[in-house]
Structure formats: C-alpha cells, structure tokens
Structure 1
Amino acid sequence: MVAIMKAAAGFVIYKKSCDAILYLLLQTSYGEHHWTPPKGHVDPGETEMTTAIRETVEESGLKKGDLKIYEDVKRILNYKVNGKPKVVTYWLAELVNPQAKVKLSEEHQDYKWLNIDEACVYGKYPDLQEALKYFDNYIRSNKLN
C-alpha cells in the first residue's frame, strides 16, 4: 500500500524591530501545543502559494497586502506525521504593514515574535530550525534587514 503524501504550505514571516529581525511563530491549541510559522494543508485544485496565503490569513489574520512575499526564497521540509509522509513548503515573507495585528484562529492559542535563537528554541524540530536559519542567513546576506 502506498502512503499518500500530505502537502502543506505557509510563510516564515519576519519583521524588523529596531536592530532585530523577529520571526512569527504560532502555538497550536491541539496536540503537544508545538510552535510553527503559519501553514496548512493544500486543498484540491489549490497551488501551494494560494494555500500559503489562505492559511496565513486564516491562522494569523495577516493579509497578502500586509506582506512582501519572496517567491524565489523557499524551503521544502519532508518529514513524517504519525508515520505518514508530509511535505511543507515555506516561503519567506516580510511584514511590511506596521499597523497589521496578529489575530489567531481557533487552531492556535498564542503567538510570539522571536529572534532567530528564540525561534529555534520554540520551533524545536531540526528541519524547522534549519529552515529558520536558512531564511535568517538569506535576510542578512541580502541586506533585507
């Protein structure tokens, strides 16, 4: 029997705060209450980018117009959930609307803006930590901060 791979997509969202780069992580209100960037499952007929935008709006309240999306900067994570393969595509996005406020859905119970070291502690999975560090290095090396 072939395991059907679940696909998900989202954004690693950052903002500039004084001299710091801060990343948005959301805490789930289910399971082990883990922390991740906004993301969700790709619906039939949807592109991964459409999913990333829809899920970000649903989970964080941040709209496409609040963000600068770097469509050429992405990481693809492959891992297993309950023994089933899952692939998650994350793109880099900058919060460019300073008036935008995070509004959580029922799927999440908390959120934090964290520097890279804190984000890697909260986002405890090695593949997520690697992705966060990749995006952080990209931001710094391309002077996006």
Structure 2
Amino acid sequence: MALRACGFIVFRRLASCAPPPDNIQYLLLQTSYGQHHWTPPKGEDDLTTALRETKEEAGLGAEDLQVMEGFLKELHYEVRGRPKEVLYWLAELRDPGTEVTLSNEHQSYRWVRLEDACTLAQHKDMQDTLRAAHRYLEAQQDKQ
C-alpha cells in the first residue's frame, strides 16, 4: 500500500518592477530530519489535510491562501523502499507580507523564483511540478 500525502505549492506575487511571471516566488521548507531536503508543505491525504498541514508546517491558514482552480499534480516516488504518492494543489498567498511560522518538522524556509526553487527542490518530479505550476500561472496571466 502506497503512502499518501497532499500539499500546496504556495506562491506569492511581489509588487516589484519585474513583469509577470518574473514577480512570482514559491515557498519551500527545509526539513529538520533526514537529508534536510526542500519541499512545499504537505500532509496526509486530501485538500482538508493539505490546508491543515500548511497551517501546521508554515503557519499559513485557509484565510491566507487562494487555491487556484484547475491545477492539481500527482507525484509518485519511494520513501525508505515504500511507494508514496503526493497530490499538490496550487495556492496564492493573499497578502505577500504574511509571515511564515515553521513547525518543528522544518528548520528553514525561503521564498524563491522558479529556477532557484528547482535548484533547491533537487528531485526532477518536483522540479517538473514547479515548472508546470509556473506555466499554469503564465497561461492564467495571458487570459487576463
């Protein structure tokens, strides 16, 4: 039986001189265990869990996030020899100045642009997911 987790790829738009989508930054958390890998906040098994885990791991609640309709990615990989699947929704931070508050599961966080997020994430499937999120946001911007 596969382990299952759900989370959000949280992003914010900066009020800067950079045009969209270059004004977008993604939130990655560094684990306080294992290899100290970088990942978006995630939890056990559905959207409700993703909201709860994002609140627990990053201090960002449903009131802080706008979930983007139409974006959902599923990743499959192994953890200690067991299959794991993770669902990620895309969510925008409503107020870019909202502070992140880490749980004891993480030791650091960063807001970074796409290529830096991909460098930190290291795993190809997470890099592909971040790029897919960015393409989705670009397409949404083009519709406006």
Q: TM-score, normalised by structure 1?
A: 0.90
* Counterpart check, 1:22 vs 2:25: yes
Q: 3-state SS of the aligned residue for 1:32?
A: coil
Query: Which stretches of structure 1, 4 residues or longer, exceed 3 Å deviation after superposition?
Result: none
Partner of 1:52: 50
Find 1:127's aligned residue among 104, 121, 125.
125
Work out whether residues 13 and 96 of structure 2, in 8 Å CA contact, stay in contact via their aligned partners in 1: no
Q: 3-state SS of the aligned residue for 2:141?
A: coil
The CA distance in 2 between the partners of 1:98 and 1:120, in whole Å, is: 21
Q: TM-score, normalised by structure 2?
A: 0.91
* Counterpart check, 1:10 vs 2:13: no
| Runs of at least 5 residues in structure 2 that lack an aligned partner in the other structure | none
Find 1:62's aligned residue among 60, 63, 74.
60
The CA distance in 1 between the partners of 2:102 and 2:42, in whole Å, is: 13
The CA distance in 2 between the partners of 1:135 and 1:69, in whole Å, is: 12
* Counterpart check, 1:85 vs 2:88: no
Cα distance 1:117–1:98, how it changes in 2: closer, same or farther (>3 A)?
closer
Find 2:106's aligned residue among 102, 105, 108.
108
Work out whether residues 74 and 86 of structure 2, in 8 Å CA contact, stay in contact via their aligned partners in 1: yes
The CA distance in 2 between the partners of 1:107 and 1:71, in whole Å, is: 28
Deviations along 1:50-99, whole A, 9 cap, x unmatched? 11000000000001011100242110001111111100000000001234
Work out whether residues 55 and 61 of structure 2, in 8 Å CA contact, stay in contact via their aligned partners in 1: yes
| Runs of at least 5 residues in structure 1 that lack an aligned partner in the other structure | 43-47
Deviations along 1:4-54, whole A, 9 cap, x unmatched? 111100000000112311000000000000000000223xxxxx0011000
Return the letter of the residue paired with 1:23.
Answer: Y
Work out whether residues 71 and 89 of structure 2, in 8 Å CA contact, stay in contact via their aligned partners in 1: yes
The CA distance in 2 between the partners of 1:71 and 1:16, in whole Å, is: 17
Return the letter of the residue paired with 2:94.
Answer: V
The CA distance in 1 between the partners of 2:66 and 2:43, in whole Å, is: 19
